[in-house]
Structure 1
Amino acid sequence: MNKGDVIELKIEDMTEDGKGIGKFNSLAIFVSNAVIGDFVKAEIIKLKKRYAIARLIEVLKPSSDRINPSCEYFGICGGCSLLNLRYEKQVELKRNTVKEKLARLAGITGPVVREVIAAEQPTGYRNKARYSIGSNGEVGFYKRKSSEVIDCKTCQLQNEASIKVANCIRGLIKEGIINYKKGEASSLRAFTVKACKGSGEVMLILEIIGKELDNAEEIVYAIEDSLIDSAGYKLKSVALALVSKNGKHSEIDKLKIVAGRDTITDEVTFKDEKSLKFEISPASFYQINTEQMVALYEKAEEYANLRGDEILLDIYCGTGTIGLSMADKAGFVLGIESVKDAILNANRNASINGIVNAIYYHGKAEDCLDKAIEKLEQILNKDVSNIPKVAIIDPPRAGADEKLLEILAKIKPDRIVYISCDAGTLARDIKYLELNGYDFIEATPVEMFPNTMSIESVSLLSLSQR
């Protein structure tokens, strides 16, 4: 086989970024815009020893699961990768991904992976969106594997408030009210919209070069007006995120509120009719799919199997949402998070919900879990070493720090509930825990990110009786 060859092949699987995978003479071929079940004609554009990259020329026989994508930007924008695949097949594919990685990377024979908790609303589900500004004033998302911004006037994944704000900002750029020129002082490089469906409260975070935003008052009023007809959404907070240089991955130097409140508040109702309020600050993490967040936490609570006397260790706790959702079932909740603003939100969230059996500790869990437990002993005025413990960990995509896993293995909570958005790092960490005193029981994928290849999963590990 040579670069430039045209081949025909059956697509048998898909990658995490939505490429089709087929085999040709035992060589793995990755084909963009092809879906599982397609029979395609493709041109080899890159050839390696173990695989090749191919450009789709023609779908000779479409998969029975292929559908027409409902977005004009599909295949250009780097967002949705599965919008051309029937949703039921997406769910099946993701479950198989979790099973395969647990078997291959964690070494678990026949891992028990329950049916995916599918989303009732596979579109319009995101409560948070970050839009970038292009060199010509485009407002949208990056082209796949590129720094080019696609001007997206709509998006299948975003909610109504997010799209209205983005279109308003696009208009303000065209009118010259917002400066977007790369590198210039007060220029807008990106912005984030957080919209709470339960309360209708919206936060706008404007990322700018410099220290101030020109025409700030006019911009805020225009965005407020754009939300008037948006199903009850109202702008409640505007923050500036100050960056010292422009670039796709430039870090934020400082955050400051320029209009409205420091936080917005979401209201979430669970199936047992328990209702909680969660405050969200500009820098704090909050699950992007509120409806599926409820399903995720209810499955985590089922796996935690709390009896009322345990200490619940809520690690990588963010704004405290997971632990607070089941605080009424636990003896005490001890949360740990490295983002200071999130810890402030977590303690505030406990207070506004009248939850008195939860405290939150700021720091990296791998560095301060022991100190946090000592702090809890001081609060309770007793030794907690013999009190039963359950740990819930919800790390970022990179997975848990090995030092943290080592500490957990020494503390020996009866159960560990591991929430993960990356099946590969999940499998790696489960393998470590299985080698250090725990048994993997089962996992349940939860569809947090429809029409993309991402999948959240909740796994249960139990202290080994061997």
Structure 2
Amino acid sequence: MKLKKGADVELKIESTAFKGKGIAKLNGLAIFVPNTAPGDRVEARIIKKKKNHAEAKLLKVLEGGPKRIEPRCGHAKMCGGCSWQHVDYASQLEFKQSQVQDHMERIGGFKELEVEPTIGCEQPFYYRNKMEYSIGHKKWLSREEIERDEYVSDRCFAAGLHAPGRFDKILNLNECHLQEPISYEILDFIRSYCTENDISPFNRIDNEGFMRNVVVRNSYHTDDLMVNIVTYKDDQETMQKMSNALLDKFPQITTIINNVNDTKSPTAVGRYEKVLHGPGYIVDSIGGYNFNIDANAFFQTNTGQAERLYEVARSFADLQPDDLLYDLYCGVGTLSLFMSEKAEKVIGIENVDVAIENARANAKSNGVENVEFVKGDMKDVFNQSIVAEHGKPDCIITDPPRSGMHPDVVEYLKHLEVPKLVYVSCNSSTMARDLKELNKVYDILEVQPVDMFPQTYHIETVANLRLR
């Protein structure tokens, strides 16, 4: 039988693939099915058919496998925020280790390298310190709503997360278990307040309306709690009334910000912002260093697990008191400061202006004097000139974006031949690609996955390299 798009098939899920999809085989063809787990027997519909594989949509779980559990959240089947809630946490950690192992072998060519077991998160729910909710005028309808006999409108004040692959529709949340419960309670209150007071959601197609986003940030080590309300227009009377209502309902909120994004850009970062209550920032810490976190500042999303990630990186670096350390792609300097007490000097390099400004401010506020930050595109500034100015490093830590390191950076790392190199990655596939090149000069001693994002397929990985 020739498999065609639109065909309904019964499948047995055998394993998992990158991005958390289950893999089944039918007549030798690999079929990828989201929201499944190994051992599941499912009914699925083919939605894409290619020469070497097919993609299918889950219709029904006929028989759950041993790793399947009942998701905690009622939105789990539709929401892209928690793609693995139907898998028990121990199995999630095993799957993530297998993902990294697959990338190391298939992309990196490291057949003899054994990836370490994933370091799990002690708090697999409510671990995020930031949730960015979207607001719109069209909600995503569930299959149950579509199949009802009565008419169900998709137009309302929808507040939640974007439906997977749909910029124009919002999954109207009734619950969320990624951040502390007060986060969803604040979102729910704002949704009701806007409905009762005729405050309109933003329409991205017509560029009309008012409310765009609600961003909630909470501190892991303090009681600080921020609400950042992103609007399309600047209406301070409306916003001050909303702020007062929020404080009456949630007196534990320590600061409220209004970001005004009056552009077509879908970002939750405003063109300018106004502080409605409190100092305009919250304070959190990593490794004993305090950081002022503004509404639009970058900060590790899982504070507690970030400390474990940094501890692995520091252990791999094996810093000595007279070591010079380079921290490539240093961001706001959290890792640079974390390493600073073990090294003689740290040079952080970063391309983003606001990140460099925050990094320098963070070093100053924490009284750290042996860290210096250099601004510039890595492929342009990480060369012989920076080494001539600051000295040849004894150790380099690199934490590039998902795309990995630019080939010029990889080549200079090979040329520089530093004794110790630590690679931190949020994408083990591009890490494996870069490690394959670096392995011409460096031995890969250890690869350690660290789970920063439970209930999702995302995984952070740290590799320990030594000069041959």
Q: How does 1:132-147 map to 2 (within 5 A)?
A: 132-135=134-137, 136-147=156-167
Corresponding residue for residue 84 of structure 2 = 82
Give the total of aligned pairs: 444
Residues 1:458 and 2:456 aligned together: no
Residues 1:153 and 2:158 aligned together: no
User: Shift in Å at residue 453 of structure 1?
Assistant: 0.6
> What is the identity, as a one-letter code, of the residue corresponding to 2:456?
T
User: Shift in Å at residue 57 of structure 1?
Assistant: 3.9
How far apart, in 1, do the equivalents of 2:356 and 2:198 lie?
A: 36
How far apart, in 2, do the equivalents of 1:64 and 1:373 lie?
A: 54
Corresponding residue for residue 46 of structure 1 = 48
Corresponding residue for residue 147 of structure 2 = none
Residues 1:236 and 2:255 aligned together: yes
How far apart, in 2, do the equivalents of 1:36 and 1:374 lie?
A: 50
How far apart, in 2, do the equivalents of 1:396 and 1:181 lie?
A: 31
> What is the identity, as a one-letter code, of the residue corresponding to 1:34?
T
User: Shift in Å at residue 406 of structure 1?
Assistant: 2.4
1:177·1:219 contact (CA, 8 Å) conserved in 2?
no
How far apart, in 1, do the equivalents of 2:245 and 2:424 lie?
A: 40
Deviations 1:176-223 (A, max 9, x none): 364324255672222322211212223333333245555121222233
User: Shift in Å at residue 240 of structure 1?
Assistant: 0.9
Secondary structure of the equivalent of 2:20? coil
How far apart, in 2, do the equivalents of 1:99 and 1:426 lie?
A: 12
Change over 3 Å in CA distance of 1:361–1:226 after alignment to 2: farther
Corresponding residue for residue 380 of structure 1 = none
Q: How does 1:263-278 map to 2 (within 5 A)?
A: 263-268=281-286, 270=287, 275-278=288-291
Task: State the identity %.
Answer: 35
Change over 3 Å in CA distance of 1:141–1:251 after alignment to 2: closer
Secondary structure of the equivalent of 1:41? strand
How far apart, in 1, do the equivalents of 2:255 and 2:388 lie?
A: 36
Q: How does 1:166-185 map to 2 (within 5 A)?
A: 166-176=187-197, 178-182=199-203, 183=206
How far apart, in 2, do the equivalents of 1:261 and 1:281 lie?
A: 10
* Among candidates 241, 250, 267, match of residue 227 of structure 1: 250
> What is the identity, as a one-letter code, of the residue corresponding to 2:214?
F
- For structure 1, which segment, 62-71 or 110-119, has the greater mean C-alpha deviation from structure 2 after superposition? 110-119
How far apart, in 2, do the equivalents of 1:70 and 1:127 lie?
A: 19
1:207·1:243 contact (CA, 8 Å) conserved in 2?
no
1:125·1:159 contact (CA, 8 Å) conserved in 2?
yes
Secondary structure of the equivalent of 1:192? strand
> What is the identity, as a one-letter code, of the residue corresponding to 1:142?
H
2:319·2:343 contact (CA, 8 Å) conserved in 1?
yes
* RMSD after superposition: 2.3
Change over 3 Å in CA distance of 1:332–1:140 after alignment to 2: same
Corresponding residue for residue 410 of structure 1 = 415
1:243·1:250 contact (CA, 8 Å) conserved in 2?
no
Unmatched tracts of structure 1, length 5 or more: 378-383
Residues 1:288 and 2:289 aligned together: no
Corresponding residue for residue 144 of structure 2 = none
Corresponding residue for residue 148 of structure 2 = none
How far apart, in 1, do the equivalents of 2:195 and 2:389 lie?
A: 55
* Among candidates 48, 68, 71, match of residue 69 of structure 1: 71
Residues 1:358 and 2:371 aligned together: yes
1:185·1:210 contact (CA, 8 Å) conserved in 2?
no
Corresponding residue for residue 191 of structure 1 = 214
* Among candidates 185, 189, 203, match of residue 164 of structure 1: 185
How far apart, in 2, do the equivalents of 1:401 and 1:255 lie?
A: 33
Secondary structure of the equivalent of 1:348? helix
> What is the identity, as a one-letter code, of the residue corresponding to 2:118?
V
2:426·2:460 contact (CA, 8 Å) conserved in 1?
yes
User: Shift in Å at residue 227 of structure 1?
Assistant: 3.0
TM-score by length of 1: 0.88
Change over 3 Å in CA distance of 1:410–1:31 after alignment to 2: same
How far apart, in 2, do the equivalents of 1:18 and 1:225 lie?
A: 42
> What is the identity, as a one-letter code, of the residue corresponding to 1:137?
F
Secondary structure of the equivalent of 1:91? helix
Corresponding residue for residue 271 of structure 2 = 254
1:168·1:222 contact (CA, 8 Å) conserved in 2?
no
Change over 3 Å in CA distance of 1:239–1:251 after alignment to 2: closer
How far apart, in 2, do the equivalents of 1:316 and 1:196 lie?
A: 24
1:204·1:238 contact (CA, 8 Å) conserved in 2?
yes
Deviations 1:364-418 (A, max 9, x none): 22222349836964xxxxxx23xx4211111221222222222333333222211
TM-score by length of 2: 0.88
Corresponding residue for residue 231 of structure 2 = 208
> What is the identity, as a one-letter code, of the residue corresponding to 2:292?
E
User: Shift in Å at residue 250 of structure 1?
Assistant: 5.0
Change over 3 Å in CA distance of 1:375–1:354 after alignment to 2: farther
Corresponding residue for residue 102 of structure 1 = 104
How far apart, in 2, do the equivalents of 1:333 and 1:424 lie?
A: 28
Change over 3 Å in CA distance of 1:48–1:313 after alignment to 2: same
Deviations 1:213-252 (A, max 9, x none): 5512122223333433xxxx53325141524116xx4585
> What is the identity, as a one-letter code, of the residue corresponding to 2:257?
V
> What is the identity, as a one-letter code, of the residue corresponding to 1:256?
E
How far apart, in 2, do the equivalents of 1:92 and 1:5 lie?
A: 32
1:9·1:22 contact (CA, 8 Å) conserved in 2?
yes
User: Shift in Å at residue 350 of structure 1?
Assistant: 1.5
2:269·2:296 contact (CA, 8 Å) conserved in 1?
no
1:399·1:426 contact (CA, 8 Å) conserved in 2?
yes
Change over 3 Å in CA distance of 1:125–1:253 after alignment to 2: closer
How far apart, in 1, do the equivalents of 2:353 and 2:458 lie?
A: 27
> What is the identity, as a one-letter code, of the residue corresponding to 2:246?
I
> What is the identity, as a one-letter code, of the residue corresponding to 1:411?
L
Deviations 1:336-358 (A, max 9, x none): 22222222221222122221111
Change over 3 Å in CA distance of 1:401–1:224 after alignment to 2: farther
* Among candidates 44, 61, 73, match of residue 59 of structure 1: 61
- For structure 1, which segment, 446-455 or 150-159, has the greater mean C-alpha deviation from structure 2 after superposition? 150-159
Change over 3 Å in CA distance of 1:358–1:217 after alignment to 2: same
- For structure 1, which segment, 203-212 or 169-178, has the greater mean C-alpha deviation from structure 2 after superposition? 203-212
Secondary structure of the equivalent of 2:95? helix
